[in-house]
Amino acid sequence: MNKYLPDTNIFIHALHGLEPDASFFKRLAEKGEILISPIAIAEFFSKSDLLEIEEKAFNNFVEEHTVIPITEDDARIAASYRKQFLRKTKRTYLTDCFLAAQAKVHNLVLVTNDLADFPMKDISIISPSAITLSTRH
């Protein structure tokens, strides 16, 4: 069984009921296949336009699921990704590098709608909008 690491945009879309993200996210959450990065938590709460009900719903979700810690291995791999992609034309943010590093270290599938933000070729990345809900993972 695969485990999935959602990017912040997936949490936001699911919370707002935007499809296909909401259905995809719900299916994974019900199966206990979602792990949460502290990076996604920080990004989520840094959104200035969050409503109190959204914060509460996200807090409840976080309390019910596993948050994986950021390790030294994650930091070293994130730094390697950042250095590698700073030399390229596509700007890659350190926070995205950390998400990718956590996916790599923990053998997780990274779930995002911003595929271009993750040029890493050594991790598995999917977008709910690019797959059908009937696909088995």
pLDDT digits (tens, 9 = 90+) for 41-52: 999 999 878 888
0.85 cut: is pTM over it? yes
At 133 the pLDDT is 40
Quick check: helix, strand or coil at residue 34? strand
The answer to whether residue 50 is domain-embedded is yes
Tokens 């019910």 correspond to: 64
CB-based burial label for 56 (10 Å; 0-12, 13-18, 19+)? exposed
At 1 the pLDDT is 80
The total of structural domains in the chain comes to: 1
Domain with 56 in it: what CATH number?
3.40.50.1010
d(CA 102, CA 107): 8
Per-residue pLDDT band for 137 (boundaries 50, 70, 90) equals very low
At 99 the pLDDT is 98
The answer to whether residue 74 is domain-embedded is yes
The answer to whether residue 51 is domain-embedded is yes
At 89 the pLDDT is 61
The answer to whether residue 135 is domain-embedded is no
Would you say 66 and 35 are in contact if contact means Cβ atoms under 8 Å apart?
yes
For 49, the token pair is 């336009």
Which residues constitute the domain of residue 124? Answer: 4-130
